[in-house]
Amino acid sequence: MVEPADTGARRARASLEAALADAEPVLSRIAERLCTNSADARDLVQDTFERVTRQGLPSDVRNPCAWLAKSMHNLFIDRCRRAARRPNHEPLADQHADLTQLEVDPPEPAWTLITVEDVREALAEIDATYSEVYVLHTFEHQSYEQIAERLSIQRVTVGTRLNRARKKLREVLVKRFGLEEAS
């Protein structure tokens, strides 16, 4: 005679409950040795029971208590690895009074006050040969090859003119805004 599926499930659940009840004292002692305090030990046993309840007890296990102990040990190792990856946070307290405080961020450099419009105006003060290459590359996002083809010059000449344009533009902006030129 074939028994109903729900009777088999009840038997498996009853078998699991019996195995958990038998193993609980042993697992508690092992957890006490593994963990630093009794609350963590109780949590470890509880998490082991929860994991086994979700997964179920494999049918080929001959010693459920040993299998549960190994499952709990694996869970403990997982917790240790997880904790090792987590950074340690130590609250600041009076014993940290001798620590050097971080300096306040320095003020923004004067160059950050210059706008794109300031750059466009300064371009009028440099030679058109250089400003044209600068505008094509910086504002129109053209490659060296595209600029060389458009101006009928060599690619290396584009790089040279762009470099000179940047240098001259910097000189104009330093003079116009009274900035110190960085070395």
Per-residue pLDDT tens digits for 77-128: 998 898 888 877 777 666 666 767 677 777 777 778 888 898 999 999 999 9
Sign (positive/negative) of CA torsion 120, 126, 131, 134? negative
* Closest-CA residue to 16 (of 52, 66, 43): 52
Residues 6+ apart with CB under 8 A from 178: none
d(CA 42, CA 65): 17
Name the pTM for this structure: 0.45
Q: Under CATH, which architecture does the 110-177 domain have? A: Orthogonal Bundle (1.10)
Pick the CATH number of 11-85 from 3.55.50, 1.20.140, 3.40.91, 1.10.1740: 1.10.1740
Per-residue pLDDT tens digits for 120-132: 999 999 999 999 9
Calculate mean pLDDT across residues 34-54. 90
Query: Residue ranges of the domains in the chain?
Result: 11-85, 110-177
